[in-house]
Amino acid sequence: MPIKRTIKKEFIKTHPKEGVVRFVALGGLEEVGRNMMFFEYGNEIVVIDAGLQFPEETTPGIDFIIPNISYLEAKKKNIKGLIVTHGHLDHIGAIPYIMNKIGNPLIYTTALNRAMINRRQEDFPNAPKLEFEIVKDGEIKQISENFRVEFFSTAHTIPDSIGVILDTPVGKMVHPGDFRVDYDVEGNPQNLDTWEKIGKQKIHTLLLESTGADKEGHSLSERIVEAEIEKIFKKADGRIIVATFASLLDRLSEIIKIAEKYNRKIFVSGFSMKNNIQIAQNLGFMKIKKETIIPLNEINKYKDDKIVLLCTGAQGESNASLMRIINGDHKQVQIKKGDIVLLSSSVIPGNERSVQILLDDIARQGGIIYHSRMVDIHSSGHAPQEDLKIVMKMVKPKFYTPVHGYYFMRWRNAQLAQEALKLRPEETPIVDNGQVLLLSKDAARISEEMVPSYYVMVDGLGVGDVGEVVLRDRRVLAQEGMVVIITTLDRHTSRFLKNPDIISRGFIYLKENKELVEEIRKRIKSMVTRVPSQQIDADYIKAMIRDQIGQFLYNKTNRRPMILPVVIEI
């Protein structure tokens, strides 16, 4: 949970100065996810991406977190467009929640991204119909008087990803979105000419992602990944189950191709994965033979060595297909001895424990596991150190700002830029969410001003109604449990009519702690008898129980359960 900062009230009135472009990230700079940022000049704003973040340990029960858009909401008339770099949820996931509030600006993006955004929009019947301008590699759009954008194709893990060269009155800003450098089997980098061309344009500021900035070396060639997966296919005689992300479309495409080569049929389990494959196929990003994909309910008609099952759940997510298959909760498929299970993704930090359980369960049931720590069957979509340096050196910007990732990752990324580009620390400013970076012709300076960027949480149908208080309660309940104390009070005499009832959940087991329960009752009664009856009312008793019983329980148990006093007046 980021520290809440005091926000200067006048932020909305602040008028951007002449000759200064303001850059602000509303999310993505103190976490992995929730990517959203904007550039502002005069009365014009261009927004890039609008993603969501998955919940953390400190946000129990939350579905996900979206960027805080109150600054943009107040200036929605100035928003000239939303550019979307690629179709991953941490870049598009907030769109259904925010577009109404920021005036439904035109979305500049590629065809596949549009399809993925629209597909998601269908789940939100009240969300507005979105307007798109489809862009391609090399295309230039004058978005507004002061902003002109050139788009360029990038390599990531999903096709049709696009980066931007934003031409502003102070210079050109380059942001590729999530990206990687791909290599051939011999280890030669591919498609560097795009970066070389950008380098000829005199770039003011380069903003590269930091997701891979603490990983040494170069990206693993996707061709090696392909070859390793093929080796497994070649010698396999059982069913092959491949678990990966539903949005890792490039990988899915490779696996389908290999399956076709080895005469296996593809079965897909998982709604989002099926959808994504369909979208990519419709737009020609996946070329799949007509007879390759077979409906899942026919899987039992095929011999084991003819089957490839694609599913979600490589992170051990409890509701994903793979988990259901392993737990025996899946309608069509159960794991059996001799199944070959490929986990083709890296473990996202925080998921180590659930992946471990997954591996144990598959192994116990006789599955043969391959995962990315054992063989090269996964390559990250985010450039590691050496790849970041290649791009930095080719683009040769005047200033460098690391984006996307925790502070440490961005700090590491800034260091790399200082090494590779011989920049001074003040030329590689590290901004946090909500900080305003002022970009003028010869400087990049972090302003004192802050734009609101604290969490907006989505919980079921509620957006933003779960605040810090609700979260704190959930944390207390999860860690310390709760004690409900029910007292019945005579309205006239202000005395208790019966012994207080005490209920505990997640605190201590009361049946084994009768003494403590009696002690609580005694204390409540004496609290009331010590006070003149005219002072006593329900609120008074509630406050007293909360304070004094809370303190008493802490002294006795060293725990602070949530105390919920209920007073019934008769």
Residues of this chain that bind Zn ion (CB under 5 A): 88, 178
Which is nearest to 486 in space by CA: 500, 472, 505? Answer: 500
Cα angle for residues 230, 231, 233 (degrees, 5° grid): 60
Residue closer to Zn ion, measured from CB, 258 or 273: 273
| Alpha-carbon distances, residue 563 vs 239, 291, 469 (angstroms) | 54, 62, 15
**Neighbouring residues of 65: CB distance < 8 A, sequence distance ≥ 6:** 27, 33, 34, 52, 53, 54, 55, 59, 455, 456, 457, 458
First-to-last alpha carbon distance for the chain, in angstroms, is 44
Residue closer to Zn ion, measured from CB, 379 or 504: 379
Neighbour-count burial of 484, counting CB atoms closer than 10 A to its CB (0-12 exposed, 13-18 middle, 19+ buried) = middle
Residue closer to Zn ion, measured from CB, 82 or 325: 82
CB of 156 to Zn ion, least distance (A): 6
CB of 294 to Zn ion, least distance (A): 30
Residue closer to Zn ion, measured from CB, 88 or 251: 88
* Sign of the four-CA dihedral 130, 381, 311, 363: negative
CB of 541 to Zn ion, least distance (A): 55
Q: Which residues does residue 65 pair with via DSSP β-bridges, in sequence order?
A: 53, 457
Which element (helix H / strand E) includes 550? helix 550-557
CB of 246 to Zn ion, least distance (A): 13
Residue closer to Zn ion, measured from CB, 153 or 494: 153
CB of 30 to Zn ion, least distance (A): 18
CB of 409 to Zn ion, least distance (A): 15
Residue closer to Zn ion, measured from CB, 80 or 88: 88
Residue closer to Zn ion, measured from CB, 51 or 270: 51
Q: How far is 563 from 542, CA to CA, in rounded Å?
A: 10
CB of 443 to Zn ion, least distance (A): 31
DSSP 311: E
CB of 382 to Zn ion, least distance (A): 8
Structure tokens at 551: 């303190």
Alpha helices (H) along 165-270: 193-199, 222-235, 249-261
Residue closer to Zn ion, measured from CB, 20 or 117: 117
